[in-house]
Chain A
Amino acid sequence: MASKAVYSHRDPMLKKRDDFEDILEERRNSSDLRYALKCYTPVVYKGISPCKADALTNMVLQSSHLHYVISQVSKETGRAVDDVQDEASAILEEMAQRLQLSTIRFFAFTLSKVFKTLFRSICVNEEGIQRLQQAIQEHPVVLLPSHRSYMDFLLMSYLLYTYDLALPVIAAGMDFMGMKFVGEMLRMSGAFFIRRSFGGDKLYWAVFSEYVKTMLKNGYAPVEFFLEGTRSRTSKSLTPKLGLLNIVMDPFFKGEVFDMSLVPVSISYERILEESLYAREMLGVPKPKESTSGLFKARKVLSQNYGSIHVYFGQPVSLRSLAEGRVNRSQFSLVPRHIPKRPSEEIQNFVNDSAYMLVRAQEENMVLKPWVLLASLLLQNHHQSQAPGQKPGMALDELTERVVWLRDLSRQFTVVPEIQETLYLRGDVGPKESRSADTTPEEELLSRAVIVLSCASYRNQALHVFLRPALLALAIHAAASTKKREVFYSFSFLRNMFSNEFILVPGATVQDFEEACYLLVKTGALQITQQEVLVTERGHRTIVFLTSMLDPFLQGYQVVCRFLCEEATEELTEKQFIPSIRRFIIKHLLAGRLRYTEVLSSDLQKNALAALLRLGAVQKLKGVDQGTLKVNTVMVNSLEDTLGGKLPTQKVVVARL
């Protein structure tokens, strides 16, 4: 059942092929109980004698960093030092993990049962496991899995237990803790809980960062957290959050550890458990609060088939090599290391770039399931068939032909797994007609949107492969002429516009442009001379496909702009933004003025707003009217026109970049 996969960016042949091994196979053939009770002796960070979780909290409470902040807070607030100290202990108490092998064994047993029911296979690249094992012995390790599902971190711990590797401690959002019992179970399986927002709370930040650093420095356990900060509802990678990455890198900058291995882990689900939940959430049905009873109710998912999971442990990245020549560590020589300091711009840029680099590494190692390619095609077909005069649907042999074509194309861009698995039929997802008598057109639209958004989340898994060439295709389409310079302007405008939507490394416009050119020339879709960028005869199909891929986003951003120009009143606040734009879009969709149902996704709307805020076309007011959005109508208008290809990009680019 193991499918082969190869990954690379440019030249597939240069990178080593890692084989996947299905770990469920053994579970199906041997006792789960014996497996849960197996002798577990992981290798540890060299020279470290394992310490207890209690010892860890003591170390944190006695650290000079925390002492410093406690006395600072006490001075600022006038509270007694002991009082603040108690608060710090309480925070730590609330936060700390209590990793217990027995809990892990319990999970090992139950999860084996659950996984076998839910999934066909769980495939892991064992070479990655070996690299990880090596890395754990040499330096402190930070595990950075992609985040698509609640399943992610249980799965990670399960895998590490299976391979006899040190169990990680995991940064988890506080919302889990609300789930009685389960929260505690997770805590005992290594999760530590952090509040979602604690911006101004100095003490909280100090306890939290010291706690993470202490675990890391002492090689207590690999530290695991999600760069994306939260589960991606769209299957697209999210813009990385930098807080935790800053914290874990700090001991290296300050010379407290020699080096550190950052290990990107890509978890590809064939079908995500939360699939339809996500779609509903993005359409405005709020997500249910995590609760144990909710979990219990959710057990019906057990009766469904969620296909296979591929987990790829990427090449460990040495932080030292990453920082070589980029970070001057002697900048920390002049202030005692335990005094918290805002990171310098040099450090911030470095952390930001590293975060993007790591998220891209996650993306590159994702496994593309055949269904993903299929979904991309079906979705495009679906949209085209919306247009008048088209008959809906596609003949099976036509679809097959197109999937094969797309597979070949994607192989030239990146290396995707062989499509040798049989496509089995999915009865539950897909544009199927189910019209009951008494639904309003709006309800019908929303129920269709759920399906489209689910479908889009599959397409999104392949987006990173096609992203750069697709941006180029769009740019060619939008540029005033075929002049290379114009195309580049157009490209960099679009790239800038979409950099909240997709993972686009800041400042790497030229590299991305060159990469896109290289890939499209390689596939024969483009011919590029000194001055001009020309689409070839046979490249037409590719270009059309690529443009259609990004078209929903393009239209979505335009709609957001139109909404802000037409509907935004003086009082529009950030909070009202989503509900009002949703109403606006529904209206337009029902009137047939919009083609893509996908535009209803709140994720897209938020990203578009973030981009406009970043570009300064919209401002968030501070003070009394906190959160009120002030729209620069002229600018938003001109951005909309430029997106729509009505204005040359050059002007906007020059004005904005």
Chain B
Amino acid sequence: MTKCVTLISVLTLNLLATPFWQILILIMEIMKWNGWGYSDSRFFFNKKGQAEFTGKRYKLSGLIIPALKDWFESTFGASLQHKTPATPILNSSAVHPPTLNETFVEELKSTGIPFSHDAEDRVFRAHGHCLHEIFALREGKFGRVPDMVIWPNCHNDVVKVVELASKHNVCLIPYGGGTSVSSALECPPEETRSIVSLDTSQMNHILWIDEKNLTAHVEAGIVGQDLERLLNESGYCTGHEPDSMEFSSLGGWVATRASGMKKNIYGNIEDLVVHIKMVTPRGVIEKSCQGPRMSTGPDIHHFIMGSEGTLGVVTEVTMKIRPMPEYQKYGSVVFPNFEQGVACLREVARQRCAPASIRLMDNEQFKFGHALKPQVSSIFTSFLDGLKKFYITKFKGFDPNRLCVATLLFEGDRERVLQHEKQVYDIAAKFGGLAAGEDNGQRGYMLTFVIAYLRDLGMDYYVIGESFETSVPWDRVLDICQNVKERIVRECKDKGVQFPPLSTCRVTQTYDAGACVYFYFAFNYRGLSDPVHVYEQVEHAAREEILANGGSLSHHHGVGKLRKEWMRETVSSVGLGMLKSVKDFVDPNNIFGNRNLL
């Protein structure tokens, strides 16, 4: 039995049993301050010019990836000779000294809730993972950062902090896993009050599990992989697996309307939550019961989900849980072209038989995935690979520059999985799809977890990039993919980018009425004086293109400050007014002043 989570090696530290100050030190040590993920896991080119992935945490860890260099150099026109290393150490003196609200600090001390105004702690919580944020960190540049960090331990601590903040007019910015890609964690530069980052990481306990109703009551600071691991110990899972699940937190999922890879079985966050507790400047908001559905006016949960930290702090959540699946199986299908692949996904959605996960990568991404194949251990495997390639391209006549691949993940009891698998492969066959094995499927999902590490590698060699997503009706999927990719290429050319960019997409989720499309975009910025600005212009243009092609502003990343400018046209003026009036009532003094969304 393969388990998706086995891709992610589990933290060996038992965080729960360790006193907080030690954890803080540990987290700072195990996580990069200016890049993605764990400090011990990173890609680099060794002396022979071969790519390697360090550490022990991932399947790819410790392996040599022979094809990556060629792919990297030929795709981006990059060269290993031209390096752009990051500033290695965080220079605390470059961080602005904190603006403290003395009376607030005094009163906070008396509550015994831990806090810090150490520069490193503050810088660590001043950003998410947008390209411009990481780029600035690598250059050792810091903008406005929070003035202090607070670590409440429980719901009641949060209540106290919010009361004090309201009393002393301090700006609070909730911080969960720090994986935002919407500039949501950036401190508004115009904010003159003291900014306090409210780090929920200590609120990471499962408070109870209700096996009769299959729910669990969990503190919102818990990180995805810990939640899954702890539930697994009791034989359960939530099945919520966003790509960032190693680091992102339950509270963050609720605040951004997150979506998980396996939503086809378990649902998105809005389908998973049964009850939410949130602390606002007006007090605590929660429902009085745990009924599975209510007709009591507009669902107040929908004011909370997607509020992006503008209304309060989510402290506790009751979530649906499921018994762990008996059996899991990866799979993959090769299609002669992207059009056929999309048609197949559409048919799968029509028949409502989507596996736990089904994703369709375009040709560029297929090649990218191929370049990430680790060195094969035996001549036999390499011989088999050659044979497969021969079969697909020569015997079946697939054009290697057009074919694309869908990766699949089935879950459930063994018999059903096998049945389901057959059904899906039968549909695929109608669209010219050929089953291409479990390995390819599994590698596809691995790509999800390592791609953020790869961005750091790119940034060492003049290559910057990012991903963004949208959701779109089925009939628009092909057009939006083609147009957005082309727009990116054209904008790069217009903005003076010297090398052709990587512009690729994949369909990552299927729904009854449409799909979620994910774009990756990266380019070599040698020769540009302000690469981040160029990057932002291109991303902006790409978003305009998405909207012009009937795509949504965001499927699951959220709006933050990055996409705020399009909110009015997205939800209409009246819609925006509705949201504003909620904000005005709940938080009239803008205590939760991260200025996201509105």
Contact = CB atoms under 8 A, between A and B. Distances in A.
Interface of A: 255-256, 258, 328-330, 332-333, 336-337
B169 interface: no
A332 B479 CA distance: 13
Given A330-B569, A336-B475, A258 B482 contact: yes
A333 B550 contact: yes
B476 A255 contact: yes
A322 B405 CA distance: 37
B570 to A, nearest CB: 10
Contact of B547 (A256, A330, A336, A337): A330
A337 B549 contact: no
Interface in B519-548: 547-548
Nearest to B552: A333
B339 to A, nearest CB: 11
Contacts of A336: 475
B165 interface: no
A332 B472 CA distance: 13
Contacts of B486: 258
B487 A329 contact: no
Sort A-B residue pairs by CB-CB distance and give the 6 closest, nearest first.
A329-B548, A333-B550, A255-B549, A258-B486, A255-B479, A258-B483
A323 to B, nearest CB: 10
Nearest to B337: A47
Nearest to B479: A255
Interface residues of B, number: 13
B377 to A, nearest CB: 38
Q: Which one of B476, B482, B548, B569 has the highest number of Cβ atoms from chain A below 10 Å of its Cβ?
A: B548
Contacts of A337: 475-476
Nearest to A64: B475
Contacts of A330: 547-548, 550, 569
Contacts of A258: 482-483, 486-487
B475 A256 contact: no
Contacts of B569: 330
Nearest to A324: B544
B480 interface: yes
Interface of B: 475-476, 479-480, 482-483, 486-487, 547-550, 569
A635 B480 CA distance: 54
A255 B480 CA distance: 7
A69 B480 CA distance: 25
B475 A332 contact: no
5 contacts: A255-B479, A255-B483, A255-B550, A258-B483, A328-B548
Contacts of B475: 336-337
A585 B548 CA distance: 56
A260 to B, nearest CB: 12
A328 B482 CA distance: 19
A336 B473 CA distance: 10
A330 B487 CA distance: 16
A256 B482 CA distance: 9
Contacts of B549: 255, 329
A328 B475 CA distance: 19
B487 A255 contact: no
Nearest to A139: B486
A337 B474 CA distance: 12
Nearest to B482: A258
A336 B476 CA distance: 10
A255 B483 CA distance: 7
Contacts of A329: 548-549
Given A255-B483, A329-B549, A337-B475, 4 more contacts: A255-B479, A255-B548, A333-B550, A337-B476
A239 B85 CA distance: 62
A472 to B, nearest CB: 39
A258 B487 CA distance: 8
B567 to A, nearest CB: 14
A329 B547 CA distance: 8
A194 B480 CA distance: 32
Contacts of B482: 258
Nearest to B483: A258
A202 to B, nearest CB: 22
Contacts of A332: 550
A329 B475 CA distance: 16
A315 B482 CA distance: 25
A328 B548 CA distance: 7
A257 to B, nearest CB: 8
A256 B548 CA distance: 11
A332 B475 CA distance: 13
A256 B569 CA distance: 22
Nearest to B402: A47
B224 to A, nearest CB: 33
A337 B479 CA distance: 12
Contacts of B548: 255, 328-330
A455 B318 CA distance: 89
A291 B147 CA distance: 88
Q: Which of A256, A332, A333, A336 has the most chain B CB within a 10 Å cutoff?
A: A333
A623 B306 CA distance: 59
A255 B549 CA distance: 6
Nearest to B487: A258
B545 to A, nearest CB: 9
Contacts of A256: 479
Nearest to B480: A255
A172 to B, nearest CB: 30
A498 B92 CA distance: 74
A331 to B, nearest CB: 9
Contacts of B550: 255, 330, 332-333
Nearest to B550: A333
A338 to B, nearest CB: 8
Contacts of B483: 255, 258
A328 B549 CA distance: 10
A337 B483 CA distance: 16
A258 B479 CA distance: 8
B324 to A, nearest CB: 41
Nearest to A251: B479
A368 B408 CA distance: 67
Nearest to B486: A258
Contacts of A255: 476, 479-480, 483, 548-550
A328 B547 CA distance: 10
A350 to B, nearest CB: 14
A256 B477 CA distance: 11
A515 B220 CA distance: 68
A66 B487 CA distance: 30
A116 to B, nearest CB: 44
**Candidate in A255, A256, A332 with the most chain B CB atoms within 10 angstroms:** A255
A465 to B, nearest CB: 34
A557 B476 CA distance: 52
Nearest to B549: A255
A337 B480 CA distance: 13
- Residue among B486, B547, B550 with most chain A CB within 10 A: B550
Most chain B C-beta atoms within 10 Å of own C-beta, residue among A328, A330, A332: A330
B435 to A, nearest CB: 26
A357 B569 CA distance: 30
Nearest to B547: A330
Which of A258, A328, A329, A332 has the most chain B CB atoms closer than 10 A to its own CB? A258
A258 B569 CA distance: 23
A103 to B, nearest CB: 33
Nearest to A328: B548
B257 to A, nearest CB: 20
A336 B547 CA distance: 15
Contacts of B547: 330
A336 B550 CA distance: 10
A256 B483 CA distance: 8
A332 to B, nearest CB: 7
Contacts of B479: 255-256
A328 B550 CA distance: 11
Nearest to B551: A333
A77 B547 CA distance: 38
A491 B480 CA distance: 48
A336 B482 CA distance: 19
